[in-house]
C-alpha cells in the first residue's frame, strides 16, 4: 500500500503570507504541498504560474505537488519543472491538444513524477492508454476551478476501476476532502488527500492534519 499523504492545497492559504502559510502546514506535518495552477481557459478561474511556484519552492521543505488545470501543459511543463515541481499532474481532458504519453515521459525524464487528473464526469477508462507512463492519478471529487466545493461521492468507484485496469501507482483525491469525507475516500483506495479549506480553515493546522491522517488510516 502506498503511504498516506496529506497534501494541503495552498489555494485556501493567505496568498499575502505564503511563506508563513507553508511553514504552518509543514510544522503541522503536511507530507506534500498542493499547488493549483489555473489558466482561465481550462477552468474559469486564474491563480498563479511558475514564478510563484518557484518562490514557494524556495521556502518549502516538502515536495511540491503541482496540479495543472491548464489547456496547454505542453507549453508550460518545463517552466513548472524548473520552478521545482516534484509531482506534475495535468488533465486528461486536454488530450486532444498534444501528445499525452510524450509529455508524461518528458516529465519523468526530467526526474519528476508524472500524473494525470480526471474531472468528475470523466470515466477512469479514459486513462487506460496512459497508465504505464503514470506515477499518480488525481481523481477530482469536485469540478476543477474553485476551493470550498462539496465533495462528490459518486467519483469514489473510480479508484477501484483504476486498480481493475491495472494501475498500481498513487491515487490522489482532490476537492471537498475533510473530516467528514476523508474516510470514504481512504476506504475507496485513495492514498493522497488534497485538502484546502479543511486545513487552512482550521485554527490549529497541525491538529487538523493529524485528525485527517488518523481518519484516513482507520478507514483503510
Q: Which residues of this protein are in contact with ligand DX5, per CB under 6 A?
A: 9, 11-12, 34, 36, 67, 142, 144-149, 174-177, 194-198
Q: Among all chains, which residue has been given the C-alpha cell 508550460? A: 76
The question of whether 36 is a catalytic residue gets the answer yes
Q: Nearest approach, Cβ of 109 to ligand DX5 (angstroms)?
A: 26
Q: Nearest approach, Cβ of 204 to Zn ion (angstroms)?
A: 23
Q: Nearest approach, Cβ of 195 to ligand DX5 (angstroms)?
A: 5
Smaller CB separation from ligand DX5, 31 or 174: 174
Taking the C-alpha atoms of residue 114 and residue 107, their distance in angstroms, rounded to an integer, is 6
Per the CB < 8 A criterion, the answer to whether 138 and 118 are in contact is yes
Nearest CA to 81 among 111, 105, 42? 111
The question of whether 82 is a catalytic residue gets the answer no
Stretch in the footprint of Zn ion (CB under 5 A) among 31-39, 45-53, 86-94, 160-168: 31-39
91 binds, among ligand DX5, Zn ion, none (CB under 5 to 8 A by kind): none
Taking the C-alpha atoms of residue 90 and residue 102, their distance in angstroms, rounded to an integer, is 13
CA angle, 128 then 219 then 194, to 5°:
60
Q: Could you say which of 83, 85, 174, 202 contacts Zn ion (CB under 5 A)?
A: 174
Give the SS3 label for residue 70. Answer: coil
The answer to the question of residue 67 lying near Zn ion (CB under 5 A) is: yes
The answer to the question of residue 5 lying near Zn ion (CB under 5 A) is: no
Distance of CA 163 to the CA centre of its chain: 19
The answer to the question of residue 205 lying near Zn ion (CB under 5 A) is: no
Nearest CA to 199 among 30, 69, 85, 3? 30
8 binds, among Zn ion, ligand DX5, none (CB under 5 to 8 A by kind): none
Taking the C-alpha atoms of residue 204 and residue 193, their distance in angstroms, rounded to an integer, is 18
The answer to the question of residue 65 lying near Zn ion (CB under 5 A) is: no
Q: Nearest approach, Cβ of 150 to ligand DX5 (angstroms)?
A: 9
Selected catalytic residue, list 14, 20, 31, 36: 36
Q: What φ, ψ does residue 147 adopt, rounded to 5°?
A: -80, 170
Report, as residue numbers or ranges, the catalytic residues. Answer: 36, 174
Contacts with Zn ion, residue ranges (CB under 5 A): 36, 67, 174
Amino acid at each position: 500500500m502506498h503511504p498516506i499523504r496529506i497534501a494541503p492545497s495552498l489555494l485556501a492559504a493567505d496568498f499575502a503570507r505564503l511563506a508563513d502559510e507553508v511553514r504552518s502546514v509543514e510544522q503541522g506535518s503536511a507530507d506534500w504541498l498542493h499547488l493549483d495552477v489555473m489558466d482561465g481557459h481550462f477552468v474559469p478561474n486564474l491563480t498563479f504560474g511558475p514564478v510563484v511556484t518557484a518562490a514557494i519552492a524556495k521556502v518549502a521543505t516538502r515536495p511540491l505537488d503541482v496540479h495543472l488545470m491548464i489547456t496547454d501543459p505542453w507549453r508550460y511543463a518545463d517552466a513548472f519543472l524548473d520552478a521545482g515541481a516534484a509531482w506534475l499532474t495535468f488533465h486528461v481532458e486536454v488530450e486532444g491538444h498534444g501528445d499525452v504519453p510524450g509529455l508524461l515521459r518528458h516529465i519523468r525524464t526530467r526526474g519528476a513524477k508524472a500524473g494525470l487528473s480526471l474531472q468528475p464526469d470523466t470515466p477512469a477508462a479514459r486513462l487506460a492508454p496512459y497508465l504505464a507512463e503514470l506515477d499518480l492519478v488525481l481523481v477530482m471529487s469536485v469540478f476543477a476551478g474553485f476551493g470550498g466545493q462539496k465533495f462528490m461521492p459518486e467519483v469514489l468507484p473510480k479508484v477501484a476501476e483504476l486498480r481493475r485496469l491495472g494501475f498500481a501507482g498513487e491515487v490522489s483525491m482532490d476537492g471537498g476532502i475533510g473530516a467528514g469525507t476523508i474516510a470514504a475516500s481512504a476506504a475507496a483506495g485513495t492514498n493522497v488527500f488534497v485538502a484546502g479549506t479543511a486545513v487552512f480553515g482550521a485554527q490549529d493546522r497541525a491538529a487538523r492534519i493529524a485528525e485527517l491522517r488518523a481518519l484516513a488510516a482507520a478507514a483503510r
